[in-house]
Amino acid sequence: MHSMPVALTIAGSDPSGGAGLQADLKVFHQRGVYGMSVVTLLTVQNTRAVQNVFVLGPEMVSAQLDALLSDLPCHAAKTGALGNARVISEIAVRAKSFRFPLVVDPVMASQHGQALLDREAVTTLKKELFPSAFLITPNLDEAESLTGMKVRDLTAMEKAAKCMAQDGPQAILIKGGHLEGDAVDLLYAGGKVQLFESRRIKTAHTHGTGCTFSAVITAELAKSKPLERAIQTAKAFVSQALESSPKLGQGEGPLNLFVNG
């Protein structure tokens, strides 16, 4: 029996430490979860810009995943930036046999607007990986790309969530961070809609917000927490992390990942 919860991140590397697998691992640790990582791509970036992206070959990605899962326990996993269709397909094959919840954060662009997935990869994500997902966590822009719909209010968010449910994920959480007013996220699961609200934090330091949010959810799921409670915990954590940002870097700085929200 293993008493320590273990979570896995399958994501890209952010050398500035504010997003990607580095942020995921920090969050796992802060939430009392042992973290493992599979690297999908390397970036050259800081808080000001992404200068270059190098996607690893699918064989290297799958070899990392096989090495971990053949040796260590895993109680929940998440994906972040995956790079291209070939890498997504490789992960999707293995995800079919996962015995733990998989959170898919469909990262399509960096915080600075650098594209990280092309159209073929988005199609592969929907057709091959979404059916194995316990939860997907698109933001408004990603929801639009995944559905072809304009998603800028709660009514459209609900329609988009129901549309994405047809691709097979058990639950869809559309993040409303770019809505006007309060930050409202919409969960569609089991045929029901639930809203999660928090006040908007005015700050320029938002680097890694999406990664942090999905990582907290994953960590809580690894501890066998119910999905709704995991989302509530993630909302509180991100709000505190934004409000107490350390203001590092000369661009969009990282969140404060030391909070206990």
To the query of whether residue 209 is one of the catalytic residues in this protein, the response is: yes
User: Tokens representing 22?
Assistant: 């580095």
Three-state SS at 251: coil
To the query of whether residue 208 is one of the catalytic residues in this protein, the response is: yes
To the query of whether residue 79 is one of the catalytic residues in this protein, the response is: no
Active-site residue, selected from the candidate residues 209, 212, 218, 233: 209
Alpha helices, DSSP H only, in the chain?
20-30, 58-69, 85-95, 119-124, 140-147, 154-165, 209-222, 227-243
DSSP-assigned letter for residue 125:
I
What is the chain's Cα-based Rg? 17
* Residue whose structure tokens are 């159209």: 119
Taking alpha carbons only, the member of 125, 118, 206, 222 closest to residue 168 is 125
Active-site residue, selected from the candidate residues 20, 208, 218, 235: 208
- For residue 42, list its beta bridge partners: 13, 54
Taking alpha carbons only, the member of 118, 97, 96 closest to residue 109 is 118
To the query of whether residue 162 is one of the catalytic residues in this protein, the response is: no
- For residue 39, list its beta bridge partners: 11
Active-site residue, selected from the candidate residues 26, 78, 126, 175: 175
210 vs 201: CA distance, rounded Å: 15
To the query of whether residue 17 is one of the catalytic residues in this protein, the response is: no
Q: What are phi and psi of 5, to 5 degrees?
A: -70, 145
Active-site residue, selected from the candidate residues 176, 210, 212, 235: 210
Active-site residue, selected from the candidate residues 26, 80, 137, 211: 211
Taking alpha carbons only, the member of 194, 130, 219, 139 closest to residue 166 is 130
Enclosing H/E stretch for 177: none
Three-state SS at 174: strand
Active-site residue, selected from the candidate residues 147, 206, 212, 218: 206
The residues annotated with a catalytic role in the active site are 175, 206, 208-211
